[in-house]
């Protein structure tokens, strides 16, 4: 694993996009793994390590998260994220990529895959789809905008265990990894989560509505593999079933014991991604 960065361009100038890279630049395939709203690219360490024998794996920190630059609050938009990921694909110098996206990272991939001449060859959507119920958005807003502070990393880890319990069965080592790769030090002491609290401003002071992206879904032409937590409130069972019937007609894996969104850290979940990407090669 090595750490790199690339410059993206937004309405207020250039900003740095950090990413980790696994595997060899000469690998026959390149895989981008893109995280959820408040997480970062290090969530994919275990998946990237397992797949790095065959893929060159790129795991970015979307701006405002991890080691990437923070942006003015109004610049945290999907058009900006699409532009940044396009710059990253250009940076790694390939014409096509496979894509694994969790939640927000899946929505970025979905929008890119729907574009004419998209560079996305195969798309894995981890607990996200073209219909998002407003109740799930309200739940995410309840924690994304709180900007909690912690005296110790142990307190931060306990918070992650509570808020992200729907990730599914994780061992102590996995929870510790999420904490160690998901904090920032505060001036004056203590810790906070490794993201800009301003990313949540889009969730604050608004009336939520269901999000309907079926027209985007129907425009996707590449094969799609959908992973759904059985207890997910964001990717509903009926939405996943409809994704199998229309558009690119996805393959579906449902993960017992998980909600939104299954952490891709267990051997069976990693094997499912690997096998599907390999079979589709």
Q: How far apart are CA 64 and CA 84, in angstroms?
A: 12
Question: How many helices, marked H, and strands, marked E, lie in the chain?
Answer: 9, 13
Structurally, the chain folds into a number of domains equal to 1
Structure tokens at 117: 């001449």
Nearest to 100 by CA among 110, 91, 89: 110
Encode pLDDT of 182-191 as tens digits.
999 999 999 9
Per-residue pLDDT of the chain (281 residues; tens, 9 = 90+): 999 999 999 999 999 999 999 999 999 999 999 999 999 999 999 999 999 999 999 999 999 999 999 999 999 999 999 999 999 999 999 999 999 999 999 999 999 999 999 999 999 999 999 999 999 988 888 777 788 999 999 999 999 999 999 999 889 999 999 999 999 999 999 999 999 999 988 777 678 899 999 999 999 999 999 999 999 999 999 999 999 999 999 999 999 999 999 999 999 999 999 999 998 65
- Coil, strand, or helix at residue 110? helix
CATH number of residue 182's parent domain? 3.40.50.1820
- Overall pTM > 0.85: yes
Q: Which domain holds residue 58?
A: 2-279
Spacing of C-alpha 121 from chain mean position: 18
């Amino acid at each position: 694993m090595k750490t790199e960065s690339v410059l993206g361009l937004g309405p207020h100038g250039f900003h740095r996009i950090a990413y980790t890279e696994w595997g060899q630049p000469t690998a026959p395939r390149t895989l981008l793994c893109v995280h959820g709203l408040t997480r970062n690219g290090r969530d994919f360490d275990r998946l990237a390590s397992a797949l790095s024998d065959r893929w060159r794996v790129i795991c970015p920190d979307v701006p405002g998260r991890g080691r990437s630059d923070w942006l003015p609050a109004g610049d945290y938009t999907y058009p900006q994220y699409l532009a940044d990921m396009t710059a990253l694909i250009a940076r790694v110098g390939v014409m096509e990529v496979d894509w694994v996206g969790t939640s927000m990272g899946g929505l970025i991939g979905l929008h890119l895959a729907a574009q004419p001449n998209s560079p996305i060859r195969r798309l894995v959507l981890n607990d996200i789809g073209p219909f998002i119920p407003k109740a799930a958005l309200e739940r995410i807003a309840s924690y994304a905008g709180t900007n909690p502070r912690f005296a110790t990393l142990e307190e931060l880890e306990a918070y992650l265990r509570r808020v992200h319990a729907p990730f599914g069965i994780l061992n102590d080592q996995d929870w510790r990894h999420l904490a160690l790769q998901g904090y920032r030090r505060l001036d004056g002491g203590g810790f906070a989560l490794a993201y800009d609290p301003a990313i949540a401003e889009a969730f604050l002071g608004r009336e939520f509505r269901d999000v309907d992206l079926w027209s985007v879904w129907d425009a996707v032409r590449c094969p799609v593999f959908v992973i759904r937590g059985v207890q997910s409130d964001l990717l509903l069972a009926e939405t996943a079933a409809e994704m199998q019937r229309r558009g690119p007609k996805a393959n579906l894996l449902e993960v017992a014991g998980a909600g939104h969104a299954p952490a891709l850290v267990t051997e069976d979940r990693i094997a499912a991604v690997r096998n599907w990407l390999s079979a589709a090669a």
